[in-house]
Chains A and B, each alone.
Chain A
Amino acid sequence: MKLTCLQENLNKGLGIVGRAVATRSTLPITQNILLVAEPSRLKLSATNLEIATTSWVGANVEEEGSITAPARLLMDFVNSLPNDLIEVTLPVNGHTIELKSGRFQAHINGIDAQDFPPIPQISEGIATSIEAASLREGIRQVTFAATTEESRPVLTGTNAELEGKELKLVATDGFRLAVHKTTLISPVAEPTTLIIPARTLNELSRLLGDQEEPVEITMNRQKSQILFHLKSAEIVSQLIPGSFPNYSQIIPQSYTTRAVLDTEKFLQVIRISSIFARDASGIVRLIITPGSELGRGKITVSAQAEEIGGNVSEIDALIDGEEAKIAFNSKYLSDVLAVIPQAQVALEVTTPSSPGVIRPIGVDNYVHVIMPMFVQW
């Protein structure tokens, strides 16, 4: 193996796959990065056996070949080099890579590429593609609602429902539910439902960066693996087996009180209250008061912490319906308000013990349901 490439490109490529490297593993080779010199490009791959990431770096390849090298060492060394040409050589049948850049030179002992776990290839299956921006928004608005509690594995992932040209992303932790709808560029051949691990989507979202080109998605026939093909990288992931709970009846179909208010101001008020709510299980109390001849409608947000203190804030709102009281975990409110780009949101409630609904105003592709907390008023 013999090739030259730019430090900048190699560093970027290593950065992409570096996150997929296993941190703790019983299989030491998964802490290495696989380097494969292909005609006119260098392929970099890493896997933790759950997610595998691949990226390609433009290179002048004189001699093809492959090897694996310790990720940390390789990344740190390349990262410290000046932006210059790097020459990578590996003697035939040897295991020591030589990296040379100007007056810098290093030898890294690698492990034979044969021993590296195979990176899954999904060449046939159900395929579609999606605008990068839509996927980014979907991931951002949904994945945070998944649980970190391992006892119900299906809830640790995001449910993806593909049907025709529609993609629905859903996540819940048993206390809140986020549902995002978006359109695909090309329709899927058959309706498909699968559960994608939260980590895969977060990694995907990071790799998407500000990419504008569409993302190609391929799922294998057994629906056990999914591949996202990006501009300069690929990510293959295992899927979570099992079926996602039926969530549709959880979303309330009606409300008795609906408040429309400024998203940013609402978030600010909740964040202020959460300072006091911290010591009281995060409870914030909302009193929704409709407007009258005397004044405009408003929502009063308060938090009380026993023995510490409390606070009360008010925010103007357009109220439809009767007065209502409801208490939420402040984190659940601030989590959802932080991911809504629209200027206004609607909060819909019925009783203090039935779920509250948050919808952005102006679009109808997102619904967020939060179960209230039961408190003494």
Chain B
Amino acid sequence: MPIKVLAPEVVSRIAAGEVIERPASVVKELVENALDAGASQISIEAQSGGIDLIKVSDNGAGIPAAEVELAFQRHATSKIGNLDDLEKITSLGFRGEALPSIAAVAEVEILTKVISEGVGSYVYLSNANIVCRESRSRPQGTSVSVRHLFRYFPARLKFLKSANTENSHIAHLVSQYALAFPEVSFTLLLDKRLSLQTAGDGDLRQVLSHIYGLEVAQQMLEAAENDVFLKVTGLTSPPSLARSDRSRLSFFVNRRWVYSALLTRATEEAYHGLLMDGKHPITIINVSLPAAEVDVNVHPTKAQVKFRHEQIVFATVEKAIKAALKRTSVAKTPATVFRDTSWQEIASPELNSGHWQREGMVKDSESPYVTPLLPLKLPVLRVLGQLATTYVIAECPDGLYIVDQHAAHERILYDRILAQWSAKKIEVQGLLQPVTVELSPREEEILKANKENLTQFGFAIEAFGDRSYLIRSVPVVMAKSNVTEAINALLDDLGSKENSATWEEKVAQSLACHSAVRAGQQLSYDEMRELIRQLEQSREPRTCPHGRPTMIHISSHQLEKEFGRK
């Protein structure tokens, strides 16, 4: 076949395919248009997963009658004017591709009115051709109805999932925009059923309570951090709220919802050591920065962005979340046991804060929200006894603490090892007779790569023939444990790629884990008291180095409630 230029309708269908992938993409484009039009109320309706009907109505600026038809031409937009504007994009859309792309794959009705005109204009397009055009009445704003999506694209239609799945994509998408724009009231109807309605009062926590529930919304922590040119704001969950997938990580750049591996990594880094493996936080983070610092024109759907200064963005996000977590208590409250859904709590005045300003930068206003956080440090505890030879039970005036002896000891040893390491004062115990360890080829490679590091930690390791090594000294904390086993485990841990800790943290984790007292080991009263005493002095007493909680706290208040005293 000879090379030739494609016909315009072919081109437009190819281009449409990039932008409109599934019904949710239509919703995305229309909602972004509504937001760019300055709407304060947006209602979205979808039927049969958006294939039969998608209708987005807003009370935004509207389109003047003379420009309505133009809006359906490719690369026609009011959002940017020239090349320079591309450098300082503040609107969500700018490519002028949304409406023509949608019109290329579905039947579109538009009814719009600007404030200066007396009557609205109605246009009906089928197969990208105007079928009907007339004047109709409408208050200011725009409604776009999209019907029979992909009717003439059986291939695309075939790849769509069930109506429920498509509905859930739409719901997820609308939720994200609602989070990004708490001051806009969103209403989402899925198959005539109200799925989401936000108040549009600018309160992020309020929006969050509609999406993830009240309990989550109440516990979320404020994150905020400034750098020279960027501002990070949002809410992030205390470690006790962890979920097992990443679907609740929402990132916005200048309030544009984006997928960002960079921001995901920054967030997980901030939670490092606080969450168990495979657990992820709930995080809503908006990064505000000058338009010139970010390139949103990477992908047709603008779901990916490029930062000019990635490192700074990364560090600021991490810092914001870390700071939020510092202010929290990690001790779990057994919420399921003590669930309380009285109306007082729902009407709690605490649900009141965290608003993002409409403009890119957020004003400096101290949040009125004060979380009743427990101090990170432990109060002085009195040991009551041991439970199931695994937990230490202790009390203090604010209630009962159940402490996992292994996790707690791990935390103490971990802190001690890292403290010694950073002070370059690792305590080392010599062995009377060197212990011989046999290594697998993989372990040997890891050992060779880390020999210097291990020496710094007090291991004197000498090669002793074929994959055999002699251990002549070990760090003091390890002296009481099985050296061979501990060395093997240490090399495994060092070789593990799942753990994002630095090598010295990995060594400390591994040493702490294998030297700590085990579950099932009987402790005398003095040992328990000593354990708790040392834990009280730890800076992060409430989690073990792997992120598991070291303790459960049942407050006196909870006890009183459970016993009906209050």
B425 contacts partner chain A, Cβ-Cβ < 8 Å? yes
B430 near A374: Cβ-Cβ < 8 Å:
yes
The verdict on A175 contacting B482 (CB below 8 Å), with A281-B476, A281-B477, A374-B458 known, is: no
B433 contacts partner chain A, Cβ-Cβ < 8 Å? yes
* Contacting residues, chain A, for B479 (C-beta < 8 A): 175
Least Cβ distance of A69 to chain B in Å? 28
* Contacting residues, chain A, for B386 (C-beta < 8 A): none
* Contacting residues, chain B, for A376 (C-beta < 8 A): 424-425
Contact of B432 among A371, A373, A374 (CB under 8 A): A371
The verdict on A371 contacting B481 (CB below 8 Å), with A281-B476, A306-B419, A376-B424 known, is: no
Contact of B429 among A245, A247, A280, A371 (CB under 8 A): A371
B428 near A375: Cβ-Cβ < 8 Å:
yes
Per DSSP, chain A at the interface is: loop
The verdict on A374 contacting B419 (CB below 8 Å), with A149-B480, A174-B433, A281-B427 known, is: no
The count of chain A contact residues (Cβ–Cβ below 8 Å) is 25
B432 near A250: Cβ-Cβ < 8 Å:
yes
A174 near B481: Cβ-Cβ < 8 Å:
no
Q: Who on chain A is nearest to B428 by CB? A: A374
A250 near B433: Cβ-Cβ < 8 Å:
yes
Contact of A371 among B425, B431, B483, B485 (CB under 8 A): B431
Contact of B481 among A149, A172, A280, A281 (CB under 8 A): A149
Least Cβ distance of A224 to chain B in Å? 26
Least Cβ distance of B427 to chain A in Å? 5
A373 near B427: Cβ-Cβ < 8 Å:
yes
Interface residues of A in 163-198 (CB under 8 A from B): 172, 174-177
Least Cβ distance of B418 to chain A in Å? 13
A353, B430: Cα distance in complex, Å:
7
* Contacting residues, chain B, for A281 (C-beta < 8 A): 427, 476-477
* Contacting residues, chain B, for A151 (C-beta < 8 A): 482, 484-485
A374, B428: Cα distance in complex, Å:
5
* Contacting residues, chain B, for A176 (C-beta < 8 A): 432
A280 near B482: Cβ-Cβ < 8 Å:
no
B435 contacts partner chain A, Cβ-Cβ < 8 Å? yes
B481 near A175: Cβ-Cβ < 8 Å:
no
B473 contacts partner chain A, Cβ-Cβ < 8 Å? yes
Contact of A283 among B427, B431, B477 (CB under 8 A): B427
* Contacting residues, chain A, for B427 (C-beta < 8 A): 280-281, 283, 373-375
* Contacting residues, chain B, for A175 (C-beta < 8 A): 429-432, 479
A245 near B458: Cβ-Cβ < 8 Å:
no
Contact of A369 among B419, B432, B480 (CB under 8 A): B432
* Contacting residues, chain A, for B429 (C-beta < 8 A): 175, 329, 371, 373-374
Interface centre among B424, B430, B480, by most chain A C-beta atoms within 10 angstroms, is B430
* Contacting residues, chain B, for A371 (C-beta < 8 A): 429-432
A360 contacts partner chain B, Cβ-Cβ < 8 Å? no
Q: Who on chain B is nearest to A147 by CB? A: B480
A373 near B430: Cβ-Cβ < 8 Å:
yes
Q: Who on chain A is nearest to B483 by CB? A: A174
A33, B431: Cα distance in complex, Å:
44
Interface centre among A149, A174, A283, A329, by most chain B C-beta atoms within 10 angstroms, is A174
A164, B284: Cα distance in complex, Å:
81
A372 near B430: Cβ-Cβ < 8 Å:
yes
Q: Who on chain A is nearest to B475 by CB? A: A281
A235, B480: Cα distance in complex, Å:
31
A299, B229: Cα distance in complex, Å:
63
A355 contacts partner chain B, Cβ-Cβ < 8 Å? yes
The verdict on A174 contacting B431 (CB below 8 Å), with A149-B482, A151-B482, A306-B419 known, is: yes
A88, B535: Cα distance in complex, Å:
56
B482 near A374: Cβ-Cβ < 8 Å:
no
* Contacting residues, chain B, for A375 (C-beta < 8 A): 425, 427-428
Q: Who on chain A is nearest to B476 by CB? A: A281
A329, B474: Cα distance in complex, Å:
14
Q: Per-residue 0/1 for B273-314: is the Cβ within 8 Å of any A Cβ (1 yes, 0 no)? A: 000000000000000000000000000000000000000000
Least Cβ distance of A151 to chain B in Å? 4
Q: Per-residue 0/1 for A348-377: is the Cβ within 8 Å of any B Cβ (1 yes, 0 no)? A: 000001010000000000000101111110
Q: Per-residue 0/1 for B425-466: is the Cβ within 8 Å of any A Cβ (1 yes, 0 no)? A: 101111111010000000000000000000000100000000
A373, B483: Cα distance in complex, Å:
16
A369, B419: Cα distance in complex, Å:
31
Least Cβ distance of A331 to chain B in Å? 11
Interface residues of B in 386-436 (CB under 8 A from A): 419, 423-425, 427-433, 435
A373 near B476: Cβ-Cβ < 8 Å:
yes
* Contacting residues, chain B, for A374 (C-beta < 8 A): 427-430, 458, 473
A177, B477: Cα distance in complex, Å:
20
Least Cβ distance of A250 to chain B in Å? 5
* Contacting residues, chain A, for B425 (C-beta < 8 A): 375-376
* Contacting residues, chain B, for A369 (C-beta < 8 A): 432
A372, B460: Cα distance in complex, Å:
14
Q: Who on chain A is nearest to B481 by CB? A: A149
* Contacting residues, chain B, for A247 (C-beta < 8 A): 433
A175, B480: Cα distance in complex, Å:
10
A149, B484: Cα distance in complex, Å:
13
Q: Who on chain A is nearest to B430 by CB? A: A371
A295, B82: Cα distance in complex, Å:
93
* Contacting residues, chain A, for B458 (C-beta < 8 A): 374
A341, B483: Cα distance in complex, Å:
34
Least Cβ distance of A91 to chain B in Å? 42
Show 5 A/B contacts (Cβ-Cβ < 8 Å), sorted by A. Answer: A175-B431, A371-B430, A371-B432, A373-B428, A374-B473
With A371-B430, A374-B428 already in contact, 16 other A-B pairs whose C-beta atoms are closer than 8 Å: A151-B485, A152-B482, A172-B432, A174-B431, A174-B435, A175-B430, A175-B432, A245-B433, A280-B427, A281-B427, A281-B476, A353-B430, A369-B432, A371-B429, A371-B432, A375-B428
Q: Which 7 A-B pairs have the closest CB atoms?
A: A151-B482, A374-B428, A371-B430, A281-B476, A281-B427, A371-B432, A373-B429
